[in-house]
Amino acid sequence: MSRQFDVVVIGSGPAGYVAAIRCAQLGFNTACVEKWLSDSNKPVYGGTCLNVGCIPSKALLDTSHKFYEMQRHFADHGISAEQGSIDVAAMMGRKNKVVEQLTKGVAGLFRSNKVTGISGAGALLGKGRVRVTSADGSEEELSAATVILASGSEPSTIPPTPIDHELIVDSTGALEFDAVPERLGVIGAGVIGLELGSVWSRLGSQVTILEALDDFLPALDRQMARESLKILSRQGLDIKLGAKVTGSRTSKGKKKTVTVSYESGEGAGEAVFDKLIVAVGRRPVSDGLADPAAGLAIDERGFVEVDEYCATNIPGVYAVGDLVRGPMLAHKGMEEGVMVAERLKGKKTQVNYELVPSVIYTHPEIAWAGKNEDELKQAGVEYSTGSFSFAASGRALAANDTDGLVKLTVEKATDRIAGCQVIGASAADLLQQIVIAMEFGASAEDIALTMFPHPALSEVVHESALAVHGHAIHKANRKR
């Protein structure tokens, strides 16, 4: 006889574990199925984000940034220190401890919220039926009124550079290097490529990033993209745009290397690396997620098809997170998980897909939400902009952290804020102030008339709002 639940969630990444916890909080008897196992064959929750994604990469980014600051900027503060060295094993050990603490935290949250964790690979058999296959091959069937699919995503690959997990690795492998590579290649100048490239560049690698697109960070408007490229290039990242990788070959000598061939506007080129990271995006994990007889609608790219409330074509079956349309971001999946749970209880919760914040955790951080200048122009919307540089911030100057700026886009007819882009220290946190304001339909004037603490980095946001109408205090305003 199968075990019965009100809700079964397949996957315990941010979308899945949040959905499971919120369902349990709302009174549903909830189970969460997760196939991830630790080295000691114990269930590990948290999915890609906690285990091999957001959290471990940020741990390495923070460690490498401290090392970079010590080498490059401590002297600016009058701090004398030896050149120093990086203990990669210790750095990885710290990263692993952070991951372990957080994954154990999810298990603790399951216990406190009475979510039943089930170890194994879950597959939808049909409406209200889930098969769980454990690591030893045994099977169990679960039944539930509602099934939430949250199996997440995995790194994409490209034929010219097959992953060998030694010289050529994906984003997971790039979190496990046992030494700093002398020459590091990265394919893809997106979020993952820039973050991982930054980690190893700060630690001493000569990093070359090959990006097939001619435009850098196309989600940003051109001014902000140019500023980001300038800052990251100054830090030592060699970013080659319009470089389409055509092949690779590995050496078999004493010191193994990988040679990458690519085509660019300058013709054919080659580059030799000690390690190569393939960071060309992610794809949904939908293979084997449902029995073909279940009839789950999956598009040609592997995404489960859902409506605006994450309902699939099968009654009582929902899909959330990286498995469905929209940006592959943990916080987007979390909000979808909450939405599905609350709608099961009769609430009218929705996700505002127009305000999904995006962040690249380089230093300075790059963050954006809403419509940028280029998008408003293409849509034929009359707009105004206001910007302010961190270089004019007293707090940023005191911290010796003055790269970047805040830029607001505002609908001219209503003065409502349409979007915000930030390059700078704590950009993710500064952006969130504007995301909250936009959620409540705030105008640039609303932000301009709000009191901000001094001295604080947030004053850059305040001044950018003042600048929309030419009222900035701490810079010369454009004539209007």
Report helix angle 459-468 to 427-439, nearest 10. Answer: 50
DSSP, res 163: -
> Rounded distance, CA 431 to CA 369, Å?
8
Residue among 73, 77, 165, 454 flagged as catalytic: 454
| H or E segment to which residue 375 belongs | helix 373-378
Question: Is residue 241 within 8 Å of 215, Cβ to Cβ?
Answer: yes
Nearest in space to 10 (alpha carbons), one of 300, 317, 302: 317
Using CB atoms within 10 A of its CB, is residue 382 exposed (0-12), middle (13-18) or buried (19+)? Answer: exposed
Nearest in space to 205 (alpha carbons), one of 230, 185, 175: 185
Our answer to whether residue 454 is catalytic in this structure is: yes
Question: Is residue 340 within 8 Å of 152, Cβ to Cβ?
Answer: no
Question: Is residue 250 within 8 Å of 275, Cβ to Cβ?
Answer: no
Tell me the one-letter amino acid at 285.
V
| H or E segment to which residue 303 belongs | none
Which positions ≥6 away from 290 have C-beta within 8 Å? 123, 124, 125, 149, 296, 298
Q: Which positions are catalytic? A: 454
